[in-house]
């Protein structure tokens, strides 16, 4: 991974507890979570629940780390950055088709 810069977006520890952004600890804590928090989906309106979540600092007992590539390095990563996947679906609206294919207003978009 020489030259690559990654951003950690999340993860789980070995027992399956998710990492939560903003919890500046390398261990597990129990937080009172409500609607709008990550790691929790309330079943009723106004419901809150105390749940175990992992801090956002990476420790040795992590099993999964989710990362995104911020800056690419010198070489391609096999199976990750060496192939490009084409877009499966194109735009439907005429103005967006014109933007996508760099067409003018006079061009007919029906053949695209």
Can you give the pLDDT at residue 48? Answer: 98
Q: Structural domain tally of the chain?
A: 1
Contacts of residue 68, Cβ cutoff 8 Å, sequence gap at least 6: 6, 7, 9
Domain interval for residue 57? 5-75
The answer to whether position 98 is within a domain reads no
Residue-wise pLDDT tens digits, 54-107: 999 999 999 999 999 999 999 998 988 888 888 889 899 999 999 999 999 999
Tokens of 62: 């992590």
Residue-wise pLDDT tens digits, 4-45: 999 999 999 999 999 999 999 999 999 999 999 999 999 999
pTM: 0.69
Distances (CA, A) of 99 to 3, 33, 84, 96: 34, 43, 21, 5
The answer to whether position 91 is within a domain reads no
User: What is the rounded CA–CA span in Å between residue 94 and residue 41?
Assistant: 39
Cβ atoms of 42 and 78 within 8 Å: the answer is no
The answer to whether position 109 is within a domain reads no
The answer to whether position 85 is within a domain reads no
Bridge-based pairing of strands 49-54 and 28-33 is antiparallel
């Amino acid at each position: 991974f020489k030259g690559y810069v990654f951003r950690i977006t999340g993860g789980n520890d070995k027992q399956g507890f998710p990492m939560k952004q903003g919890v500046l600890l390398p261990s597990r804590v129990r937080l009172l979570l409500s609607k709008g928090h990550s790691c929790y989906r309330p079943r009723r309106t106004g419901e809150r629940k105390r749940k175990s979540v992992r801090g956002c600092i990476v420790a040795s007992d992590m099993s999964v780390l989710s990362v995104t590539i911020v800056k690419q390095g010198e070489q391609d990563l096999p199976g990750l950055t060496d192939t490009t996947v084409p877009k499966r679906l194109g735009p439907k609206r005429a103005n967006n088709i014109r933007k996508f294919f760099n067409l003018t207003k006079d061009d007919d978009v029906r053949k695209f």
